[in-house]
Structure 1
Amino acid sequence: MLNFKAIYAMGPYLRIVHLKLGLQLLAVIIVSTSILGCSEPKLTNSAFNGQTMGTFYDIKVAHFPLTKSEQSAIHAEIERRLELVNDQMSTYRSHSELSRFNLSPAVNDFPVSEDTARVVAESIRIHEITSGAFNVTLGPLVNLWGFGPDHLPQEKPTVGMIKAALSRVGIEHLSHTKNTLSKNIDMLYVDLSGIAKGYGADVIAEYLESLGIKNYIVGLGGDLRAKGINANNVSWQIAIEKPSTTEHSVQHVVAVGNNAIVTSGSYRNYYDLNDERFSHTIDPITGKPAQHNLVSVTVIHSSAMTADGFATAFMAMGEVQGMTLARQKKLAVYMIYKSGDDFKEVYTETFSPFFQK
């Protein structure tokens, strides 16, 4: 087992490191530190980068220097574990556990890994808390509107097509045990894209901790989980991005402590069709892309999986209903919404301690 002990060092200057996410949502920016005029720190930052789940991952750990062979071994295991999550929960892979379950007719006790069952269980729990705003059975609608593995539609889906897709939706048709899934209708289609990346971040964080690494930040697209400090004895800090399709700039910087932070937004993942704009967040009531003024929501929680699910739910609910629920449940939530030609912000009392002045 590798064992890394934190060594404190001074690092007063901030610099922004941008995650390169291509067409994927760039919801957060990792903020790290540089040193000017002081001795070399005894800890060093090591980075591991790659692609997974349709986005990029960017992982940094602070530790005593690793050999090249140690870094290669860690990187290979990170890749293996992320590939495993894909093989379990991807709807883009026909051989994944979830795809095989989706392709099956109504079935009892379909065997899956404990990991997949665990993510489904958390999805059902968040569905109940959000009164259905988070619904992993929306797959037929996600695909109908062109945000799944299918191609973008050439025409706007008709009312009949939406009704047909809604008839295949319903969390009440889905159940689980520790290592099985069941469905009582043939066409039920489960899509975990609104929670699986968060779970992937948790998987890698837990792997790093199993090595004795106490200082890290794991980023999968807009899903991050952090712990400890970087090599300059500064807590990992995250910048919430301003909602813009033309530039990357900072709205707020937060220090999340030993927590996950997930941002979901509608301002990057969308398409235009016949002069209409459709975002990737589907309203489970109407069966259509959500129509409200909320453009970005950030959730801080101990679990990236849970934060991911709630961020997805709040994007479906909108700023009014979403903020009401967040305050009731004492969740750390920050929202940016459109007001006329301007953007405004609102956040819960439990989120405010994370802001950096």
Structure 2
Amino acid sequence: MPRTYSDPSTESRLSGPVMGTRWAARYQAPPAFDHAALSSDLARAVGLVDTQMSPWKPDSDLMRLNRAGPGRWVALPEAMLDVLARAQEIGALSGGAFDAAVGGLVNAWGFGAMADTPDPDAIRRAAADHRPAHLWLDVDREQCRARKRAPMTLDLCGIAKGYAVDRMARVMADHGVGHALVSLDGELRACGARIDGRPWAVALESPQEGRRAVHGVIELADLSVATSGDYRRWIGVGGERLAHTMDGRRAGPVRNPVASVTVLSGTCVDADAWATALLVAGPDEGPALARRMGLDALFLFRREGRLVEFGLGRFAFAAEGADA
């Protein structure tokens, strides 16, 4: 068992580039601690996820699976199988609100690596060909392989970053660090609390276009948080603003008044995927799904030019209909 440091110490910070954004770690460890080794292992952990699961790298394992024809088993590494298996589980539990097979739609609408503007012909083809991953993808953990039973392009952007954060947390534990906050873009996980017992304070971003603003503060201890929203990446089509998140069930971008969904969970992979699923599910189905699954979720709805909060579980303090 790795030793957990509990003596008084100063807070240190590490960060590095990955996946078009940055990973970061705040932690508390003794002065003689090997920070360089920790930094190297954290970078390796997130780099492995990028190498295996990036839709932007032609030689990634994800793209290798995407290029395989239907019915062909493809050998895959353990980490990718972990993510695919959890994506399948949450896809089934959410009735397809979370769908790893939206890659074709992402590309057709100009949000992927293939194009940066919508292609009407590609959109029609992607919509006609779409099959939900949880029904048309087989994941064989025992034989370390997966196969598609229909043509599909997988995209793991709604879950892979959360998984990378969980791998960072395991690196922290392996180095004996019991007081840390690790993050990748908007996904975060607290490893324990701060060394003085206080929880880690995390800012909840306000879903405003073109600027970064704080909506509130969340306190974390041995807990993960992830947020999905409509305000980071979007395109304007016919006077309508379309978010980059795809709804596989209607074969197009999310179109609903949910501005953002924040989810708390023990693992960041679950927080990440469920935040995506609830955003896709929308203002009626989303809260019902969160309640059915016992999730801690905070919804921010756009209503008549203002933000309205609705919280469940540990977010239940946010009363339905309260102004944000």
TM-score, normalization by structure 2? 0.91
Shift of 1:281: 1.3
Partner residue of 2:16?
Answer: 50
Match for 2:68: what amino acid? S
SS of alignment partner, residue 258 of structure 1: coil
Shift of 1:49: 0.6
Trace 1:176-255 onto structure 2 (pairs within 5 A): 176-178=139-141, 179-185=144-150, 187-255=151-219
SS of alignment partner, residue 141 of structure 1: helix
Deviation string, structure 1 residues 138-160 (Cα, Å, up to 9, x no partner): 1100111111112212x5625x8
Are 1:142 and 2:106 an aligned pair?
yes
| Bigger mean CA offset, 200-209 vs 313-322 | 313-322
Partner residue of 1:170?
Answer: 132
Name the CA distance, whole Å, in 2 between partners of 1:342 and 1:314: 20
Name the CA distance, whole Å, in 2 between partners of 1:201 and 1:88: 15
| Bigger mean CA offset, 106-115 vs 307-316 | 106-115
SS of alignment partner, residue 115 of structure 1: helix
Partner residue of 2:321?
Answer: none
Give yes or no for contact 2:193–2:220 (8 Å, CA) kept in 1.
Answer: no
- Shift of the 328–164 alpha-carbon distance from structure 1 to 2, 3 Å rule, reads closer
With CA pairs under 8 Å and 6+ residues apart, which has the higher RCO, 1 or 2? 1
SS of alignment partner, residue 268 of structure 1: coil
Match for 1:53: what amino acid? M
Give yes or no for contact 1:215–1:227 (8 Å, CA) kept in 2.
Answer: yes
Partner residue of 1:95?
Answer: 59
Give yes or no for contact 1:63–1:231 (8 Å, CA) kept in 2.
Answer: no
Shift of 1:101: 1.0
| Bigger mean CA offset, 223-232 vs 49-58 | 223-232
Query: Which consecutive residues of structure 1, in runs of 5 or more, have no partner in the other structure?
Result: 8-41
- Aligned length, in residue pairs: 315
Shift of 1:137: 0.6
Partner residue of 2:227?
Answer: 263
Deviation string, structure 1 residues 41-80 (Cα, Å, up to 9, x no partner): x31111111111222111111111245xx21111111111
Shift of 1:228: 2.1
Partner residue of 2:28?
Answer: 62
Match for 1:49: what amino acid? S
Partner residue of 1:33?
Answer: none
TM-score, normalization by structure 1? 0.83
Trace 1:100-139 onto structure 2 (pairs within 5 A): 100-139=64-103
Partner residue of 1:320?
Answer: 284
Are 1:284 and 2:233 an aligned pair?
no
Name the CA distance, whole Å, in 1 between partners of 2:20 and 2:55: 11
Name the CA distance, whole Å, in 2 between partners of 1:283 and 1:214: 38
Q: Kindly report the root-mean-square deviation, in angstroms, between the aligned alpha carbons of the 2 structures.
A: 2.0
Name the CA distance, whole Å, in 1 between partners of 2:32 and 2:305: 50
Name the CA distance, whole Å, in 1 between partners of 2:163 and 2:40: 19
Name the CA distance, whole Å, in 2 between partners of 1:271 and 1:264: 16
Shift of 1:274: 5.1
Shift of 1:352: 3.8
Question: Structure 1 vs Structure 2: percent identity of aligned residues?
Answer: 29
Query: Which consecutive residues of structure 2, in runs of 5 or more, have no partner in the other structure?
Result: 319-324
- Shift of the 256–353 alpha-carbon distance from structure 1 to 2, 3 Å rule, reads farther
Are 1:302 and 2:266 an aligned pair?
yes
SS of alignment partner, residue 176 of structure 2: coil
Name the CA distance, whole Å, in 2 between partners of 1:102 and 1:115: 17
Name the CA distance, whole Å, in 2 between partners of 1:157 and 1:341: 31
